[in-house]
């Protein structure tokens, strides 16, 4: 064997060893945390560095809806990443990757007849690698690595990327499982709303945020009117189904930025970030009407009637500047509404109660 051949083999071996060392560092990064967003950003950053691309993204795949959801990106314009969810296009590149379940690459998009993604072409993407993230034969996401110049991709690195993809998919699975477990810990199993325990944590957090940024913050507290009578008339199983329906109606009525809780029994709370008292009163009226109309139109099995709710509304800083004071005020307003006729929304201004 000539000296040149020996040097060539040595260089090849050194390159492989370096690639494996890089891969180990990448693997460490992607399995070092259980926070899903952190995992996805670590996957993207590591893969871009490993493959030497200036841009990329990670999207999670939802098989039931055939939909992708963008969760991490780098090196791409705001216009390119503004669409956070999209369906798989029949015959498109992503569908080919999903069907094959293997790494797919394009070395020059302008010389590839089937590549017709107008958004990617407008972005100036000239070459890319699509890496399916597969866990237990199920694709959980796709890693996209992009370059703005045509290029030849190193086949050895592509092979190592497939190993990285296995680590990444496992990390995504573990992080998703952890996220679901955490969600179960803060969710009321009957209504699907957040539970009492999480309310106390979130209330404290949002109150502190409102003070720090000098933003308004409102709280709505509601109670099902005559719930004991409802249970006595139709049975506790029907009462439970009513509470399930309450959870649905509340989530259908509030904004995406509002957060709903089952406070206990038949009591519910909605926290409204950056919301003034007048806006919160309107939201409370929508909730009151939604419950009255919704439970009347959709009486649960075994019940011949719907229900109404009594509601209290209070806001920071209009009504109080301390968390305990604000809660006591909204609690008192709720019970005033119940004592004075039920199916009402009460707030301090309407009662002309002196502010604290």
Q: How far apart are CA 280 and CA 288, in angstroms?
A: 12
Q: Give the least confident one: 70-84, 173-187, 304-318.
A: 173-187
Q: How far apart are CA 338 and CA 176, in angstroms?
A: 43
Task: Give the CA distances from residue 125 to residues 76, 114, 216, 261, in Å, rounded to whole numbers and listed in that order.
Answer: 10, 15, 44, 45
pLDDT at 261: 96
Residue 210 has pLDDT above 90, yes or no: yes
pLDDT at 20: 62
pLDDT at 356: 44
Longest pairwise C-alpha distance within the chain: 100
How many of the other CB atoms lie within 10 Å of CB of 261?
A: 26
The pLDDT tens digits for 68-124 are 989 899 999 998 988 888 888 887 888 888 888 889 999 999 888 888 888 888 999
pLDDT band at residue 6 using 50, 70 and 90 as cut-offs: very low
CATH class of 196-351: alpha beta
Question: H or E stretch including 267?
Answer: strand 267-273
Instruction: Of 95, 104, 105, give the one whose Cα is nearest residue 150.
Output: 105
pLDDT band at residue 185 using 50, 70 and 90 as cut-offs: confident
pLDDT band at residue 131 using 50, 70 and 90 as cut-offs: very high
How many of the other CB atoms lie within 10 Å of CB of 274?
A: 14
Q: How far apart are CA 261 and CA 191, in angstroms?
A: 9
The pLDDT tens digits for 236-291 are 999 999 999 999 999 999 998 999 999 989 999 999 999 999 999 999 999 999 99
Instruction: State how far Cα 167 lies from the chain centre.
Output: 23
For 1-184, CATH gives 3.30.450.40
The total number of residues written for the chain in this structure = 356
Q: How far apart are CA 205 and CA 54, in angstroms?
A: 38
Instruction: Of 28, 83, 34, give the one whose Cα is nearest residue 59.
Output: 83
Instruction: Of 334, 328, 208, 228, give the one whose Cα is nearest residue 273.
Output: 208
Tokens of 310: 């009594």
Question: H or E stretch including 17?
Answer: helix 3-30
Structural contact between residues 280 and 220, judged by C-beta atoms closer than 8 angstroms = yes
Portion of the chain with pLDDT greater than 70, in percent? 88
pLDDT at 250: 96
pLDDT at 28: 67
Q: How far apart are CA 55 and CA 79, in angstroms?
A: 14
Task: Give the CA distances from residue 77 to residues 51, 158, 340, in Å, rounded to whole numbers and listed in that order.
Answer: 20, 26, 57
pLDDT at 175: 79
Q: Which candidate in 95, 266, 285, 325 is catalytic?
A: 266
Identify each DSSP E strand in the chain by its residue range: 55-62, 67-74, 85-87, 104-106, 127-135, 138-147, 217-224, 259-264, 267-273, 309-316, 345-346
| In the chain, where the domains are located | 1-184, 196-351
Tokens of 281: 């009163």
pLDDT at 35: 75
Tokens of 315: 């806001």
25 is catalytic: no
């Amino acid at each position: 064997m000539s000296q040149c051949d020996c040097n060539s083999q040595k260089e090849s071996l050194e390159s492989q060893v370096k690639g494996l060392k890089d891969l180990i560092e990448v693997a460490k990064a992607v399995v070092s945390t259980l926070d899903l967003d952190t995992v996805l950003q670590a996957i993207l950053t590591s893969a871009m560095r490993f493959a030497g691309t200036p841009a990329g993204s990670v999207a999670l795949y939802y098989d039931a809806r055939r939909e992708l959801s963008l969760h991490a990106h780098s090196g791409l314009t705001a216009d390119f990443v503004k669409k956070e969810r999209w369906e798989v296009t029949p015959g498109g590149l992503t569908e080919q990757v999903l069907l094959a379940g293997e790494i797919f690459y394009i070395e020059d998009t302008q010389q590839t007849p089937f590549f017709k993604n107008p958004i990617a072409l407008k972005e100036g993407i000239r070459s890319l690698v699509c890496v399916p993230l597969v866990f237990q034969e199920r694709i959980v996401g796709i890693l996209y690595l992009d370059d703005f110049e045509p290029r030849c991709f190193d086949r050895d690195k592509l092979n190592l990327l497939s190993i990285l993809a296995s680590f990444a998919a496992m990390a995504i699975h573990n992080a998703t499982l952890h996220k679901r477990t955490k969600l179960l810990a803060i969710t009321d199993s009957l209504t699907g709303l957040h539970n009492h325990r999480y309310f106390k944590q979130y209330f404290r957090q949002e109150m502190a945020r409102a003070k720090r940024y000098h933003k308004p913050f409102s709280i709505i507290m509601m109670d099902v009117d005559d719930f004991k009578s409802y249970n006595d008339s139709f049975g506790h199983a029907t009462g439970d189904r009513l509470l399930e329906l309450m959870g649905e109606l509340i989530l259908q009525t509030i904004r995406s930025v509002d957060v709903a809780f089952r406070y206990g029994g038949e009591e519910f709370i909605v926290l409204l970030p950056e919301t003034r008292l007048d806006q919160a009163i309107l939201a409370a009226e929508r909730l009151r009407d939604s419950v009255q109309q919704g439970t009347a139109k959709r009486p649960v099995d075994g019940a011949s009637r719907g229900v109404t709710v009594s509601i209290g509304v209070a806001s920071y800083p209009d009504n109080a500047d301390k968390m305990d004071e604000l809660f006591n005020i909204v609690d008192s307003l709720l019970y005033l509404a119940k004592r004075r006729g039920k199916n009402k929304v009460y707030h301090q201004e309407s009662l002309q109660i002196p502010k604290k």
